[in-house]
A and B are shown apart, each in its own frame.
Chain A
């Protein structure tokens, strides 16, 4: 599974994204933390005349600060699998004396290794900055440990899932697009279903406890959400308060399940990959019918949701408008996909 040559090959393929991961994490974590500390120090030494006592005593951090990192881990997965399919480099990789399973797992280990290393180093630096700068007067570093508990498993799950999408997608662009769509699929699809039900007179009580729990669950299934929605805010000034929001730890089972299933199915599919379809939208011919059905359905629901309001207002929704828009969306999606599914994107012959 771990072979030096495969690591070197992955290093070559993924190096732009790997550099991006380390640089973005450094900029948005320790560098940003240090900047906040310096600003706080400046404000302490040079207080505002009208509020000299409490100007600096607040600090905030949100997982959305590292959203660039999330894009980059999807990009890393696309470089490791999709770029090879797009540039004929699979011809080299697959002709080497390695099992396909080992090639896939080496990509996974490579990505996960860099993700964990990047996060650990930079979060550790953040903790040191919190401990040894003026930030220690406002907060302690414990919230970073909690962030670590969320960001590491969910990042690994996002990477694993994107790598799995690479075993289905036939080129770099389709891998990126499909990863983006399917990473937000649980939340997106539920929104479409809710909209469908509401147009058909079935109302959803958004404040009911069961709905809230269901929302939490759907948010956790939508892998980027728990990272983006992680929020820590502390204010020790006059109206002192702390706002700390993150998902319950039991939800960490979800990224674990995503990771296990993505690696298992990814390895299985990569071992059976149809390299003759490299460059196309999808690698396998067998799933094309189901895929087309899914895309047409989602486009129809989306167009229905967006266009339904044209023929009515919020209180009296127009079902005719919904179905008309849905039909337009479905037909558009069908013909677009018919073109795209046979299009081959390959360079470097």
Chain B
């Protein structure tokens, strides 16, 4: 359905995207994660046809979206800015989207407004930030697009609305076999809903795996040795120290898990136990950084 082919993009002499390749199939929710400034929004804007790549192509159903933007009848992009339609009233936007998108479903749109309790007779500027974000998402799904690109979609949403909208996205994907590409910093959302995890680091795709595969290739352990962490363990390439409090180390093992655990056991630890692992642990371990990204 979506094929991002070798995309590179340089902005102000800095290579923001470096030969990025992504392939997404129908019925997929893909979470695009990465630290601030690694090129997530740039990548989404290239895919949406807002920015031109310096190199490479973006194909949707085998059609180059930059050469044939008409194909975007079936693609919608929801930016992280909620201000773009603020001068419109709900009715005006319905008219506009009905004129743009051949399959825009007005009845469905109003039913979603009711479902999420958004006022119908107001200017968008009177909405709160969260309501604007929700409104843009509803608008996007009402176009009946096959690919929906969401850039930081849940920013500003309260937890209840957020849960409802995530549930709604899952429903839509399972019913219509559409594809949703979400860029977000909220890793728990990706963990809950995404099938595919795309990690981006310094403009390159670090990994594209299913959430299950990602989790199975990592192991989080807590380990205590008599003295500090043995040098043998510290020097292993596939072991990251997530945290250290005194002699208590929280480690992340990436790949080659059983062999590494055996080596750890071989150094006679006082304690060695597996910890429950979240996507955030994988994020920190893979994409580097001592601080949480938000």
- Candidates A4, A90, A272; contact of B99 at CB < 8 Å: A4
Q: Indicate if the CB atoms of B51 and A98 lie closer than 8 Å.
A: no
- Candidates A91, A97, A272, A348; contact of B100 at CB < 8 Å: A97
Q: Indicate if the CB atoms of B69 and A348 lie closer than 8 Å.
A: no
Q: Indicate if the CB atoms of A92 and B84 lie closer than 8 Å.
A: yes
Would you mind naming 15 contact pairs between A and B with Cβ atoms under 8 Å apart?
A5-B99, A9-B96, A12-B87, A12-B88, A88-B84, A90-B50, A91-B84, A92-B85, A94-B50, A97-B69, A100-B69, A275-B45, A275-B51, A276-B11, A348-B81
CA A88 to CA B49, docked complex, whole Å: 14
The residue of chain A having its C-beta at the shortest distance from the C-beta of B81 within the complex is A88
A285–chain B nearest beta-carbon distance, Å: 8
Q: Indicate if the CB atoms of A89 and B84 lie closer than 8 Å.
A: yes
CA A98 to CA B96, docked complex, whole Å: 14
Total cross-chain contacts (CB, 8 A): 76
Q: A5-B96, A5-B99, A348-B83 are in contact. Are A91 and B72 (CB under 8 A)?
A: no
Which parts of A56-95 form the interface with B (CB within 8 Å)? 87-92, 94-95
Which parts of B64-90 form the interface with A (CB within 8 Å)? 69-73, 75-77, 79-81, 83-88
The residue of chain A having its C-beta at the shortest distance from the C-beta of B50 within the complex is A94
Q: Indicate if the CB atoms of B69 and A91 lie closer than 8 Å.
A: no
Which parts of B179-231 form the interface with A (CB within 8 Å)? none
Enumerate chain A residues within 8 angstroms of B101, measured Cβ to Cβ. 97
Q: Indicate if the CB atoms of B48 and A95 lie closer than 8 Å.
A: yes
Pick from A5, A94, A96, A100 the residue with the most CB of B within 10 Å: A96
CA A348 to CA B132, docked complex, whole Å: 13
Q: Indicate if the CB atoms of B51 and A96 lie closer than 8 Å.
A: no
How many residues in B have their beta carbons less than 8 Å from beta carbons of A?
32
Residues of B whose CB lies within 8 Å of any CB of A are 11-12, 42, 45, 48-52, 69-73, 75-77, 79-81, 83-88, 92, 95-96, 99-101
Enumerate chain A residues within 8 angstroms of B73, measured Cβ to Cβ. 97
Enumerate chain A residues within 8 angstroms of B81, measured Cβ to Cβ. 88, 91, 348-349
CA A275 to CA B44, docked complex, whole Å: 13
Q: Indicate if the CB atoms of A272 and B77 lie closer than 8 Å.
A: no
Q: Indicate if the CB atoms of B50 and A87 lie closer than 8 Å.
A: no
Q: Indicate if the CB atoms of A88 and B99 lie closer than 8 Å.
A: no
CA A99 to CA B68, docked complex, whole Å: 7
Q: Indicate if the CB atoms of B77 and A95 lie closer than 8 Å.
A: yes
The residue of chain B having its C-beta at the shortest distance from the C-beta of A96 within the complex is B100
